[in-house]
Amino acid sequence: MFSFDRQITRTLHDEHLVTISVLERLEGVFRKFGPKKAPAADSAEIITLLGDIIALVECDVKNHFSFEESRLFPLLDAMGDSPISSILTGEHNVILPLGNQLSDMAKQARADGFQESLWGEFRAAGVELIERMISHIQKEEMALLPMLEDIVEEDEDAELVMEYSAIS
């Protein structure tokens, strides 16, 4: 595991840990209830998890992806490291619609409970999101964040972290 010296890389790393934690809880619910037996959407565990999924997608994922694409990837591109930017942007374009779909289903489940068909769709989308997001986070942790550690200067780091804090 890397130790990050820059504020912006530590901030993104910490968000990755939060995202992984939510995804692990979601995976635990999937294991606990299986594909056929939907959980009661009014249990405290499920209410909290659904709220965390909605917040994760609508706040963290959207802001995180947007910030990377608008502010961080151009830094890499300027240094000639555009392949990683292209790969991650392509993944963003798949993950975000999937996350939005899961968030919408989480809202529906909070309002109406899990009907059998909704649980099946929610579970399928959730499993796919978990797989894609974990793989994506691994790429960012192993490639993007170390690259940023090397190219972001101290004054630029402070500016980036303030800008990111304002949108997250």
Q: What residue ranges do the domains of the chain occupy? A: 7-167
For 157, phi and psi rounded to 5 degrees? -60, -45
Confidence of residue 1 (pLDDT cuts 50, 70, 90): low
CA 102 to each of CA 105, 131, 149, 166: distance values in angstroms, whole numbers, following the listed order: 5, 14, 33, 26
Mean pLDDT calculated for residue range 155-166: 96
The total of other beta-carbon atoms located within 10 Å of residue 73's CB is: 20
For 80, phi and psi rounded to 5 degrees? 85, 15
CATH number, span 7-167: 1.20.120.520
| Tens-digit pLDDT profile for residues 112-127 | 999 888 999 999 999 9
Q: What mean pLDDT, rounded, does the chain reach?
A: 94
Is the pLDDT score of 81 beyond 80? no
Q: 62 and 89 in contact (C-beta within 8 Å)?
A: no
Q: Which of 19-28, 40-49, 136-145, 151-160 has the lowest mean pLDDT?
A: 40-49
Q: 135 and 30 in contact (C-beta within 8 Å)?
A: no
Cα–Cα distance, 51 to 110 (Å, whole number): 8
Q: 60 and 18 in contact (C-beta within 8 Å)?
A: yes
SS3 content of the chain, % helix, strand, coil (to 5): 85, 0, 15
Cα–Cα distance, 64 to 55 (Å, whole number): 12
Is the pLDDT score of 60 beyond 70? yes
State pTM to two decimals: 0.93
